[in-house]
Structure 1
Amino acid sequence: MSSLRTLSVLEHEVIPIVNGDLTSGLLRVWLTEVEAQILLNLNQVRKGFCQRVAGGIKLAQYCGVVKLGTCILEVLPKVGMNVDCAAGELDRARTALLTMLHSARYLTIAEIGSAPQTQVKAPLLDVFIEAFLHCALVQAKRGLISKYVGAEDNLPVIKGRFNAHGHLRHNLGKPHLLNCDYDEFTPDNAYNRAVKATLEVCRAWIQVSATQRLWFETYSRFSNISSIRTSSAAVARVPQDRTTRRYHALLKWCEWLLNMSSPTMSAGTADAPGLLFDMNKLFEAYVTRLEETASDDHQYVHSQKPQMTLATLQGAGVFTLKPDITVWQTEPGQKAPSITRIVDAKWKRLSPLAPNWGVDQGDIYQMLAYAIRYKCNHMELVYPGPDGTISQLQDLPVFRIDVGDNSERTIWITVRAVALWGT
């Protein structure tokens, strides 16, 4: 993989298609016709991932890494206000994506979680591999998981169960040996074999020398484990219980990285690469996590519930409502908590110079429907801060809606922005 070029692009960007090398040197990023077709094939499993437009391939809201046959495509979130990709925007976008993935608990990335970074310059795939290596190394230092593994061998004494058929087949001329089936408690099991297989697969993908050194340190911890070839689907089928709970994050990394090495993907079919994230869902999970962190002992935060219908038609409920986040409060002397706020996360760009900051009219109608059906007066629309921060934001709009002829009820819809990395 070290010979493959890495393309760093932003969501919704149009990637030009070139048919030769005459013009490719003048472009920041470009695709060949074969690479473009591989991306289009991904729509079979990632509906709406990209589309063909005049001049190239236009991406949608998915971000992450796609491994093509001749290059690595790194898709990053659009966090800047400029139409074109400004200097340093790719590094800031990479930081924003990793921060959201870690905070939303999609991935465990220790460096992002321990101290907010201003820029992440390493390629996204290298960052993912480094996080996997750290995760594997931590578990190896704690001690590799050991499990009972079935084995068959010719032994001088009976161990486990004597196998008469195997003894006749192997030991007719060896009276001093007995063929036995037994269980051996060993770290050389499916869990650690999956980790070693992933280590061997991702070695060739590493571009940063520090990550290479970390790979050698981690691999040495698994030197006594058998080398096998496995797949992401096989790792997903490995049984997990309370005794293997500490390997949960590590095995998830194995699934994602092994999916990157899918032979069908490199051949150009529509197998999903496994390292793509829908930014709408990721931002919703990120905002949910922020709300959970900010809540106190008397507050409860729920995601995607409760579901209710807005209207009825012939006695049946229609137009299902499913708010992103509901915040519940328990008041003193109150038996059951009640909804005090409804929060909707919008992965859209605010426009400070536009009327109403560019808030979409349809989003206001949606919040009004929530307010009426859930009988809640305090609503919030949450957006990513322009340029990924909120330090320069002032006078974000608060919309007031009076309900009833006598203004007997007032609904407040507050627009709020959140930072995508530490300020």
Structure 2
Amino acid sequence: MKATVTIREYARLTTAEVEPTLDVAQLSQSAFDWLCELSASFSRNGATLLQVDGRHALKWDSYVGVVETPCGTRLEILPKHHEQGDCLLKSRQLLRKLIQQALQLKPRDASVASLELFDAPLSEWVMGQFLTELDLLVKRGVRFDYQRIEEEQRFLRGQLNVVAQMRQPPGRQHHFQIRHDVFLPDRAENRLLKLALELVAKSTQDAANWRLANELRAMLAEVPASRQVNQDLRAWSRDRLMAHYQAIKPWCELILNQQMPIAVSGEWRGMSLLFPMEKLFECYVEGWLRQRLLPGANLTSQASQHHLCAHDSGKMFCLKPDLLIDTPEQRWILDTKWKRIDSGKPEKNYDLSQIDFYQLFAYGHKYRDKGVPQLVLIYPYWSGLRTALPVFDFGEDMRLWVLPFDLDADCLVDAEKATLPLNLASFARAS
């Protein structure tokens, strides 16, 4: 039986015996050592997964999701967002919602009630969604395709391979070299689904998921598992006859670790789904804004039109704001930041980062295609940031607003103060 450890961002992991909470947890020595090796591989790629805190402790960074160690320990990391108690259920629901938006997934839940009752780790939720989609696909019918077979038989079937037949040695001329087509489910899409299904059947700890996975394995017994994942993914067909396969493809890619913002590298392939929380927050805010833009407004993510400076007939340091909103008359530059600031600490600059302000100041001076742009920094809503901060004036009519985004209420609080081109009647303001 695999051990599951649930923590949240910035939690402390140790091999010493401790009272487990979402902010501190005990790991086995083998899991601890493997995480140290994993952190070293992340560091070589320029990312920070863990910080070493002494010889027997680690501090997790701002990645969320699930990572499974070779010794069988499954580590679930949740967002550090809710304040009252551990809020395990709310944190899991929030993480699922953010991942759905980031990867444009469409979960197939029977009802809101069933979603609320499904208090399972992220990995079980992903596997459950995949199995539900696969069950529906099998009921609608698995797509077959013709496969050309060349073989030797004692009878004629299909076409005679004349060249191969003429090369038959004496004494074997009574055997026929033939070609024929067989109608089989052995095609790229089905091979990928079979491989994902095998991984789910081996990884799941949920009884319902395990039962459904084994039922589907019996139904797909004649389909071989993929041995060349990247090649089969490139061969995934998008024609109209394969339209019913499109809903399951993102879940299949998710399980096969092909669509991860951060993929765990190496030979070990456990159930590992890690996401940088900063990126999830940015993707969620972007999706929310796109749904509420007024007609005529255009949103661009990760614009890279300008550089900080010119040098030796070239350009250096590309400036890439998270979000750019344009109307014929005005431009808004928005950046999202996954960290808490406190409106009750004006003497400490509200815990704002001076670097963030320098960054927006540079954006504002370079992205002046339509005159002076308006600047917006978006932070998560919490008890210390319930409303917009007083406006920050950079001079020359360039101003910056700091707005809270309420993830529970799906609301950008005080968006009207920044005069953003949004349909304000389409959402309720957070309390």
Query: What is the TM-score normalised by the length of structure 2?
Result: 0.77
Q: CA deviation at 1:79?
A: 0.9
| 1:206 equivalent among 204, 207, 210 | 204
| 1:361 equivalent among 349, 354, 370 | 354
Helix, strand or coil at the partner of 1:111: coil
Q: Distance in 1 between matches of 2:343 and 2:154?
A: 78
Counterpart amino acid of residue 342 in structure 2: S
Of stretches 166-175 and 354-363 in structure 1, the one that deviates more from structure 2 is 166-175
| 1:403 equivalent among 395, 406, 414 | 395
Going from structure 1 to structure 2, the CA distance change for 1:208 and 1:161 (only over 3 Å counts) comes to same
Judge conservation of contact 1:231–1:259 (CA < 8 Å) in 2.
no
Does residue 41 of the first structure (1) align with residue 41 of the second (2)? no
Corresponding position of 2:74: 72
Does residue 60 of the first structure (1) align with residue 61 of the second (2)? yes
Does residue 144 of the first structure (1) align with residue 142 of the second (2)? yes
Going from structure 1 to structure 2, the CA distance change for 1:378 and 1:68 (only over 3 Å counts) comes to same
Counterpart amino acid of residue 36 in structure 2: L
Corresponding position of 1:340: 331
Going from structure 1 to structure 2, the CA distance change for 1:415 and 1:267 (only over 3 Å counts) comes to closer
Q: Deviations over 1:362-400 (max 9, x none)?
A: 22222222222213432221122228xxxx964321423
Going from structure 1 to structure 2, the CA distance change for 1:266 and 1:277 (only over 3 Å counts) comes to closer
Q: CA deviation at 1:238?
A: 4.2
Q: Distance in 1 between matches of 2:256 and 2:316?
A: 43
| 1:416 equivalent among 397, 404, 412 | 404
Q: Distance in 2 between matches of 1:141 and 1:366?
A: 53
Judge conservation of contact 2:364–2:373 (CA < 8 Å) in 1.
yes
Q: Deviations over 1:207-255 (max 9, x none)?
A: 22332343345445424x3344646556545454446565355344334
Q: Deviations over 1:295-334 (max 9, x none)?
A: 133121111014311333455433321110111224xxxx
Does residue 286 of the first structure (1) align with residue 291 of the second (2)? no
Q: CA deviation at 1:41?
A: 1.8
Q: CA deviation at 1:72?
A: 0.7
Q: Distance in 2 between matches of 1:385 and 1:169?
A: 78
Aligned pairs (5 A) from 1:316-355: 316-330=314-328, 340-355=331-346
Helix, strand or coil at the partner of 2:103: coil
Going from structure 1 to structure 2, the CA distance change for 1:68 and 1:171 (only over 3 Å counts) comes to farther
Q: CA deviation at 1:101?
A: 1.0
Q: Distance in 2 between matches of 1:17 and 1:166?
A: 69
Going from structure 1 to structure 2, the CA distance change for 1:14 and 1:343 (only over 3 Å counts) comes to same
Helix, strand or coil at the partner of 2:119: coil
Going from structure 1 to structure 2, the CA distance change for 1:65 and 1:394 (only over 3 Å counts) comes to closer
Counterpart amino acid of residue 223 in structure 2: S
Going from structure 1 to structure 2, the CA distance change for 1:125 and 1:313 (only over 3 Å counts) comes to same
Of stretches 321-330 and 409-418 in structure 1, the one that deviates more from structure 2 is 409-418
Q: Distance in 1 between matches of 2:309 and 2:216?
A: 58
Counterpart amino acid of residue 58 in structure 1: K
Q: Distance in 2 between matches of 1:281 and 1:167?
A: 64
Corresponding position of 1:382: 378
Q: What stretches of structure 1 of length at least 5 have no aligned partner?
A: 331-337
Counterpart amino acid of residue 150 in structure 1: R
Helix, strand or coil at the partner of 2:248: helix
Going from structure 1 to structure 2, the CA distance change for 1:421 and 1:284 (only over 3 Å counts) comes to same
Q: Distance in 1 between matches of 2:388 and 2:13?
A: 34
Q: Distance in 1 between matches of 2:305 and 2:271?
A: 32
Helix, strand or coil at the partner of 1:395: coil
Q: Distance in 1 between matches of 2:281 and 2:37?
A: 26
Q: Distance in 2 between matches of 1:266 and 1:394?
A: 37
Q: CA deviation at 1:143?
A: 2.4
Corresponding position of 1:226: 223
Q: CA deviation at 1:67?
A: 1.2
Counterpart amino acid of residue 64 in structure 2: C
Helix, strand or coil at the partner of 2:156: coil
Judge conservation of contact 1:231–1:258 (CA < 8 Å) in 2.
no
Corresponding position of 1:334: none
Of stretches 299-308 and 180-189 in structure 1, the one that deviates more from structure 2 is 180-189
Judge conservation of contact 2:308–2:362 (CA < 8 Å) in 1.
yes
Going from structure 1 to structure 2, the CA distance change for 1:129 and 1:116 (only over 3 Å counts) comes to closer
Corresponding position of 2:300: 302
Q: CA deviation at 1:344?
A: 0.8
Judge conservation of contact 2:123–2:271 (CA < 8 Å) in 1.
no
Helix, strand or coil at the partner of 1:290: helix
Q: Distance in 2 between matches of 1:292 and 1:116?
A: 28
Q: CA deviation at 1:123?
A: 1.7
Q: CA deviation at 1:91?
A: 2.1
Q: Distance in 2 between matches of 1:214 and 1:208?
A: 10
Relative CO higher for 1 or 2, CA cutoff 8 Å, sep ≥ 6? 1
Does residue 17 of the first structure (1) align with residue 15 of the second (2)? yes
Counterpart amino acid of residue 111 in structure 1: D
Counterpart amino acid of residue 364 in structure 2: A
Q: Distance in 1 between matches of 2:382 and 2:272?
A: 29
Judge conservation of contact 1:302–1:325 (CA < 8 Å) in 2.
yes
Q: CA deviation at 1:56?
A: 1.0
Counterpart amino acid of residue 345 in structure 1: T
Q: Distance in 2 between matches of 1:367 and 1:75?
A: 31
Q: Distance in 1 between matches of 2:15 and 2:304?
A: 46
Q: Distance in 1 between matches of 2:117 and 2:341?
A: 22
Corresponding position of 2:123: 125
